[in-house]
Amino acid sequence: MTTETTPGTVVDHAQLRIGEKTFDLPLVRGSEGEVAIDIRNLRRDTGLITLDPGYANTGSCRSAITFIDGERGILRYRGYPIEELAKTSSFLEVAWLLINGEQPSQAERESFAEGVAHHTMIHEDFNRFFSALPRDAHPMPALAAAVGALATFYRAPESDEDVDAAVTRLIAKMPTLAAYSYKRSLGQPFMAPRNDLNYSENFLHMMYATPCEEYHVDPVVARVLDLLLILHADHEQNCSTSAVRLVGSSRAHLFASISAGISALWGQLHGGANQKVIEMLEQIASTEGSADLFLERAKDRDDTKRLMGFGHRVYKSYDPRASILKDACVEVIAKRGGSSRLLEIAMRLEEITLSDDYFVSRKLYPNVDFYSGIIYEAIGIPVNMFTVMFALGRLPGWIAQWTEMRRDPDFRIGRPRQIYVGPTERRLADSTG
Ligand code: CMC
C-alpha cells in the first residue's frame, strides 16, 4: 500500500470474495494513517449492504476538523492538541479555529468578538415563547425548542455570506437563550446581555444578575467556564454531531439542525451523563457504603445501571479532557471552595475502577462528564444546566461539521439502509366474519 498520497484519497484496494466472485473495494487513507474500506458501490456491484448497529465501525464522512486517537488518548482540533488550546486560547478563538480551519488573526479575532457581541439580544417576541413553557421546564428541551424557533425569525441561509451571518448570530444568541431558559425555570425576569463583557462573563451575568443586584464576575470562574467550553467544543462524529449532519443533510435550516443536536445531546448516555454523574455522587455521599453497591450494580449485566461518566465509544484509554478537568477541579475547589466531598468520592471511584478487572478488561476510564459536573457545581452552575453548558460548548463543533458537510463534494442526503426482520407479506383477518 502506498503512503504518500493526498489524505482521504484511494491508496489501494481490498478484495471481497462472495461465492465464486471477487470484488475490488477501494482503500482510503486519512492524514493520520487510519484506513477505511470505501463501500459506497457495494450494493450496486454485489447487491449486498453492510450491517453495523450504532455505526460503531462506519465512517460517515471525510472530515478535516477533529482528530481523536482513542487508544492513545489524543484529541486535536484542526491539528492543535487539546492540551495546548486549553492552556492558551479563549473559547471564541477555538470556535473560529473549528469553523474556519485556521487560528484567527488579530483583526479576525476582534471582528468576530465584535460581531458576536453585537448579536446577543433576542427578539422581544421570545418572551412570549418562553412564557408558553411550563414554569418548571427542564432548560435543555427549552433550549432545543428555542433554537429551533429561531428559524422562524431568520430565513434559511443559502449563500456563504448568509451562512456566516447565521453562524455569528447563533453563537451570539445561544448563551442568551440558555440563560433565558434558566431564568424561566426560576421564575425570574430575563437579564439583557452586556456587550462590555466577554463571552463567558456575559453568560454568567445573564445567569446570576437580577434587576435588584449586579453580579460581579469572578475571573477564576469566567476562565474555568471558558476552559470547559473549549474542552467540549468538538468531538468528531458523536451522536449529537451525527444528528446535526443527518438533519442538515436534507438541507434543513442551520438552526433546525442544531436544535436536533441539542436534543440528541440531552440523553444520559451522551451529554446528559454530566447531570447523572453528580446525582450518582450525591447519592453515594448520602449513603455510607453505597459506592461498592453502585460498582456492583454497574458490573452486573442483568442490571441496566452503569457507572455514569465512565466508558467511551472511541477512547480506550484515559479521555484527555477528563485529565485536564480533574486538575482544574482540584484547582477550582482549592481557590473557591465547593464540594471537596464529591471530588473525593469521584477520585476514590476512579482509583477503585483502575484496578478492577471488569473496568480494566473493558478499557473503561473516566470520560469528560466525570469531572465536569464537580466543577460546574463548584462555580455555582445548577445541576439542571449542566447539559446546557455542554451544548454551549459543542455549538462551534456542530456548526463546523454542518458547514463542512454542505461544502463536501461527496455530499448526499443521509439515508442508511436496514436488514428487515419483520413478517413477510400476509393478509388482514376478515373483519366481516
Ligand atoms: N459502566 C459499566 N459498564 C460499562 C460502562 C459503564 N459506564 N460503559 C460500558 N460498559 C460495559 C458494557 O456493559 C459492555 O460490557 P459487556 O462487554 O460485558 O457487554 C462494555 O463495557 C462495552 O460497552 P458498550 O455499551 O458496548 O460501549 P458503547 O461504546 O456502546 O457505549 C457509552 C459507550 C459512553 C455509551 C457507555 O460507556 C456508557 O453508557 N457510559 C456511561 C454514560 C456516559 O458516561 N456517557 C458519556 C459519554 S462521554 C461524553 C459524551 O459523549 O457525551
- Ranges of beta strands (E only) in 174-302 are none
Dihedral through CA 222, CA 225, CA 227, CA 230, nearest 10? -120
- Residue-wise pLDDT tens digits, 164-220: 999 999 999 999 999 998 998 888 899 999 999 999 999 999 999 999 999 999 999
In this prediction, residue 430 carries a pLDDT of: 81
Ligand 1, atom 29: closest residue by C-alpha: 313
Distance CA 181, CA 390 (A): 15
Mean pLDDT, to the nearest integer, of 400-428? 96
Q: Of 116, 52, 70, whose CA–CA distance to 90 is shortest?
A: 116
CA 312 / ligand 1 centre spacing (Å): 6
Task: State if residue 13 touches ligand 1 by the CB under 6 angstroms criterion.
Answer: no
Report the pLDDT averaged over residues 379-388. Answer: 93
Q: What is the largest CA-CA distance in the chain?
A: 81
Q: Cα(228)–Cα(408) distance, rounded to whole angstroms?
A: 30
**Contact present, 50 and 58 (Cβ < 8 Å):** yes
Look at the block and give the residue holding cell 456548526: 399
Instruction: Output helix, strand, coil percentages for the chain, rounded to the nearest 5.
Output: 50, 10, 40
- For the four alpha carbons of 169, 79, 54 and 49, in that order, the dihedral sign comes to positive
Reported as a single tens digit per residue, the pLDDT across 340-376 is 888 899 998 999 999 999 999 999 999 999 999 999 9
Range of the domain at 50: 9-69
Report yes or no: 343 and 398 within 8 Å, Cβ to Cβ. Answer: no
CA separation for the pair 63, 394 (Å, rounded): 17
- On whether residue 170 sits in a domain, the answer given is no
CA distances to 191, 218, 241, 249 from 268, in Å? 30, 31, 16, 25
CATH number of the domain encompassing residue 14: 2.20.28.60
Atom of ligand 1 at shortest distance to CA of 277? 44
Answer whether residue 401 is part of any domain: no
3-state secondary structure of 307: coil
Which one-letter DSSP state was computed for residue 383?
G
Q: What is the pLDDT of residue 226?
A: 96
For the CA of 314, the closest atom of ligand 1 is: 29
CA 32 to centroid of ligand 1, rounded, Å: 26
* Rounded (10°) angle between helices 239-248 and 386-407: 40
Mean pLDDT of the chain: 93
Cα 65 from Cα 81, distance rounded (Å): 12
Residues 6+ apart with CB under 8 A from 409: none
What are the residues whose beta carbons fall under 8 Å from the beta carbon of 206, sequence distance 6 or more?
175, 176, 179, 180, 183, 190, 191, 192, 193
Residue 55 domain flag: yes
Best mutation site among 295, 313, 368, 386 for ligand 1 pocket (most ligand atoms within 8 Å of CB): 313
What pLDDT shows up at residue 22?
97
Residue 110 lies in a domain: no
**Phi, psi of 25, rounded to the nearest 5 degrees:** -120, 130
As for how many domains the chain has, the answer is 1
In the chain the first and final C-alpha atoms are separated, in Å, by 69
The set of cell numbers assigned to 126 is: 421570545
Statement: residue 394 has pLDDT above 90: yes
Ligand 1: which atom is nearest the Cα of residue 239?
51
Q: For this structure, is 369 an active site residue?
A: yes
From CA 41, how far away is CA 309, in angstroms rounded? 39
pLDDT at position 319 is: 94
Ligand 1 centroid, distance to 389 Cα (angstroms):
22
pLDDT at 413 over 80: yes
Residue 404 binned pLDDT confidence (cut-offs 50, 70, 90): very high
**Does residue 338 surpass a pLDDT of 80?**
no
366 in contact with ligand 1, CB cutoff 6 A: no
CA quadruple 244, 246, 251, 252: dihedral sign: negative
Catalytic status, residue 205 = no
Q: Is the CB of 238 inside a 6 Å radius of any atom of ligand 1?
A: yes
Residues in the chain: 433
Closest CA to 405 of 250, 261, 266: 250
Name the residue among 91, 92, 93, 40 with its Cα closest to residue 62: 40
- Residue 353 Cβ inside 6 Å of ligand 1? The answer reads no
Cell of 288: 455510607
Over residues 226-249, the pLDDT tens digits come to: 999 999 999 999 999 999 999 999
The finding on whether 138 has its CB within 6 A of some atom of ligand 1 is: no
Q: What is the pLDDT of residues 106-157, one digit of tens each?
A: 999 999 999 999 999 999 888 889 889 988 889 999 999 999 999 999 999 9
Query: Probe ligand 1: pick from 306, 314, 369, 394, max atoms within 8 Å of CB?
Result: 306
- Does residue 45 lie in a domain region? yes
Note whether residue 203 is domain-resident. Answer: no
**Is residue 20 domain-resident?**
yes
Q: Judge whether residue 334 has pLDDT over 90.
A: no
Q: Which residues contact 38 (CB under 8 A, 6 or more apart)?
A: 10, 25, 26, 27, 28
User: Is the CB of 397 inside a 6 Å radius of any atom of ligand 1?
Assistant: no
Instruction: Calculate the CA dihedral of residues 416, 235, 139, 246 and round it to 10 degrees.
Output: -20
Q: Which residues contact 354 (CB under 8 A, 6 or more apart)?
A: 360, 365
Q: How confident is the model at residue 288 (pLDDT cuts 50, 70, 90)?
A: low
